[in-house]
Amino acid sequence: MKEHNTYNEELGGKNLPDSLRVNPFFIPKNFFEDQEEHILGQIHFERTVGNINESLDTKATANVPNGYFDTLETSIFAKIAEQGLKDKVSEDGFTIPTNYFDDLSQSIEASIAEENLKSIVPALDFQVSGDYFEAAENQIFAKIAESNIHDQVGKESGFSVPTSYFEEASNEIEAKIIVEKWSEELNQEHFTVPTGYFNQLNEKILARTTKQETTILTLPKRTNWRKYSAAAAIALIVGVGSYFGFQNTISNQNGNQLSTTEVNLDHVSDEEILNYLAQVSEGEDLIHLAEYTSDTKNENVQLDLEIGKEEIEEYLNYML
């Protein structure tokens, strides 16, 4: 049986196999240079620990603070409450202001400058005026009232600047300066009032404002013919209207009397009806009636058989 081992490579001459050409031991860089310092440090550490152990052995007895056991129960409950509060509030409750770290360097430098200034001027203290506390109350109330006014009215001052004020201010200031210079040079007023001006001012104003009375001329009255012509026309219209109204009233009364009169043809003979119709009818109506009249030889035919009484009554009412 063939043996399997590590050294199965072909060896030629004095050559070693590849597995033996690599050094299995690794030494850190500068190991021997730093070894002395590590040894000295270890010795120093052991000495320090030995000194501490010796001091602890000499002070083996422990001292308990006064009242420790009396306050132990309270301290335990306080720690329990603190832990319960931490469990309920996950955050610590502290927040960092905005731009805190950005402004931190400036704040530190300002504090350092303040400390340096205090060290240079040690007597730099804040002094309070004599009546500060007496007037502080009034100033506080004044500030509160001012704040209330700002809340109601707004932060505007309420004063308005005229248009083009700042553009014209320089010209006005220069003009006033020139006027003051002239006044100093002349040492008198530029404008003078005439003597008695204010005494006569009232009379002049009244003379110009009072209206002068004008004479009124009366002219002879003219006869207004329009009134008379209008009255005559109205009287004529009223008279004509009254006349025609009276005539219409009479005709309406007669018509009402005729319409209310009951015509009873039972007591009127046929000959009387025919005679009446012949008097009031025209030629065409007579021809039409002749067709319905009876012949003198035929006495059996009567008019009332062909023409009804209602038709005769309607015709008579129409003719009347």
pLDDT tens for each residue of 277-316: 666 655 555 555 555 554 444 444 445 555 667 777 776 6
For the stretch 238-262, pLDDT in tens is 666 666 666 666 666 555 554 444 4
pLDDT value at residue 146: 86
Domain that holds residue 281: 264-320
Residue type, 197: Y
Q: How far is CA 52 from CA 46, 96, 129, 198, 209, in A?
A: 10, 43, 61, 116, 122
pLDDT value at residue 279: 64
Does residue 39 belong to any structural domain of this protein?
Answer: no
34 band by pLDDT with thresholds 50, 70 and 90: confident
Cβ atoms of 258 and 320 within 8 Å: the answer is yes
Of 221 and 87, the one with more pLDDT = 87
- Domain total of the chain: 1
CB of 288 closer than 8 Å to CB of 303:
no
Q: Looking at residues 7-21, what average pLDDT do you find?
A: 57
For residues 282 and 163, give the distance between their C-alpha atoms in angstroms, rounded to a whole number.
106
Q: Which residue has the higher pLDDT, 206 or 191?
A: 206
In this prediction, residue 213 carries a pLDDT of: 63
* Closest residue by Cα to residue 19 from 31, 29, 33, 9: 9
Report pLDDT for 251. 60
The single-letter DSSP state of residue 131 is T
| From 117-126, 210-219, 270-279, the region with the lowest mean pLDDT | 210-219
The per-residue pLDDT of the chain, averaged, comes to 70
Instruction: Please give the pLDDT value at position 45.
Output: 84
| pLDDT at site 17 | 61
Half-sphere exposure of 304 (CA within 13 A, CB side): 10
Higher pLDDT, 120 or 155: 120
Q: Is the pTM of this model over 0.75?
A: no
Among residues 264, 268, 263, 270, which one has the least CA distance to residue 305?
270
Does residue 164 lie within any of the structural domains?
A: no
Asked if the structure places residue 18 within a domain, the reply is no
Q: What is the pLDDT of residue 4?
A: 46
According to DSSP, residue 59 is labeled T
- Using 50, 70 and 90 to split pLDDT, how confident is the model at 65? confident
pLDDT at 12 over 60: no
Tell me what pLDDT residue 317 has.
Answer: 67
Question: Is 316 in contact with 263 (CB distance < 8 Å)?
Answer: yes
Candidate from 181-185, 220-224, 271-275 with smallest mean pLDDT? 220-224
Percentage with pLDDT > 90 across the chain: 0
Are the C-beta atoms of residues 286 and 294 closer than 8 Å to each other?
no
279 lies in a domain? yes
Describe the chain by its helix, strand, coil percentages, rounded to 5.
65, 0, 35
| Separation between Cα atoms, residue 270 and residue 292, nearest integer Å | 12
For residue 6, tell me if it sits in a domain. Answer: no
Report yes or no on 24 lying in a domain: no
Tell me whether residue 58 is in a domain: no
- pLDDT for residue 16: 61
Does 292 reside within a domain? Answer: yes
Helix and strand counts by DSSP (H, E) for the chain: 10, 0
Mean pLDDT of the region 121-150: 79
For residue 40, pLDDT over 70 is answered with yes
